[in-house]
Amino acid sequence: MSLIVTGTVALDNVKTPCGMKKDMLGGSAAHFSMSARLFTKVHLAAVVGKDFPNKHLQFLRRQKVDISSLIAEEGKTFRWEGEYKKEDLNTALTLETELGVIGCKPRIFEEQKNIPNVFLANIDPDIQMDLLKLMKKPRLVGLDSMNLWIAHKKPSLLKLMKKVDLFVVNDGEARALSGEDNLVKAAKKLHQLGPKLVVVKKGEHGVLFHSNKLTFSFAAYPVEKVVDPTGAGDTFAGGLMGYLSKARKLDAATLKKAVLYGTTTASFNVQGFGMAKTAPLTISDVNKRMKELVEFIKP
């Protein structure tokens, strides 16, 4: 079944120990779409500025992402410039941010309101709620967020969490929002706030899943050289939610496989700048690596 995602579509300047790239296509919704498209039809609902390069629009179309609700407003596209240091590739240092039109509400077509699967990728929770209010009886709603919104928009985020089925968050955000240092306790606390399914991303240390019937943890795929971690969490969410949208069920086997797909797609993302490694991916590529991951985590 098809999937609609809202979030940011951005222009990124990224510097890592492997080099620097400018004006790359980035943003939470764009990275999410690169992995989710492998499993289902993806509709991207977001706002960019009039300066958004046509080459990026053409790229998204070639990837079979529906961008009919990617709206160009007067103003500038959201821009982010960040740097990763050799000693800590898990943490991005934000050097500059240009918000541009990021605060504009998403708009979708009437027929898109019936799309059964919805993912609210990282952006202001009020904008996420705006999109969710447009949807008619969605089957599955997923949510991602970040420390900025936890610190400055916590009431809005907590209200939104009561309306979603799946919450994807990294370990630092899980601790900040739950007030718990232990990640198992943090996941349980987040579950109590509304989401039926909680997924805590731990970067190179893997992922923790929790629901009222199932708790498990998987290791990450062992990547020898990390080139650019930007968008890895969004790519993970796309693989996870994309597979769940295709599977149409939420039993234990399906949930575990979805987490493995998220982990696998994210492992490709970090091996290149921007979407260099996720754009050419096929489901065969992902399945091959996922088999390797399963062998790696077997006792």
pTM score, whole prediction = 0.96
Q: How many Cα neighbours within 13 Å face the side chain of 210?
A: 19
φ/ψ of 53, rounded to 5, equals -65, 135
For residues 186-215, average pLDDT: 95
- Residue 91 reports pLDDT greater than 90: no
Nearest to 229 by CA among 269, 199, 264: 269
pLDDT in tens, 241-279: 999 999 988 999 999 999 999 999 999 999 999 999 999
Q: Which residues of 112-130 are buried (b: 16+ CB within 10 A; e: fewer)?
A: beebbbbbbbbbbbebbbb
Domain ranges of the chain: 3-297
| Cβ contact 21:14 at 8 Å | yes
How many other C-beta atoms lie within 10 A of the C-beta of residue 9?
30
Tens-place pLDDT, residues 45-80 = 999 999 999 999 999 999 999 999 999 999 999 999
Looking at domain 3-297, its CATH architecture is: 3-Layer(aba) Sandwich (3.40)
Q: Which residues are CB-contacts of 152 (< 8 A; sequence separation ≥ 6)? A: none
Tokens 């990837």 correspond to 63
How do residues 121-165 score in pLDDT, each as one tens digit? 999 999 999 999 999 999 999 999 999 999 999 999 999 999 999
12 burial via Cβ count (<10 Å: 0-12, 13-18, 19+)? buried
Residue 87 has pLDDT above 80, yes or no: no
Q: Supply φ then ψ for residue 239, to 5 degrees.
A: -65, -45
Q: How far apart are CA 168 and CA 145, in angstroms?
A: 8
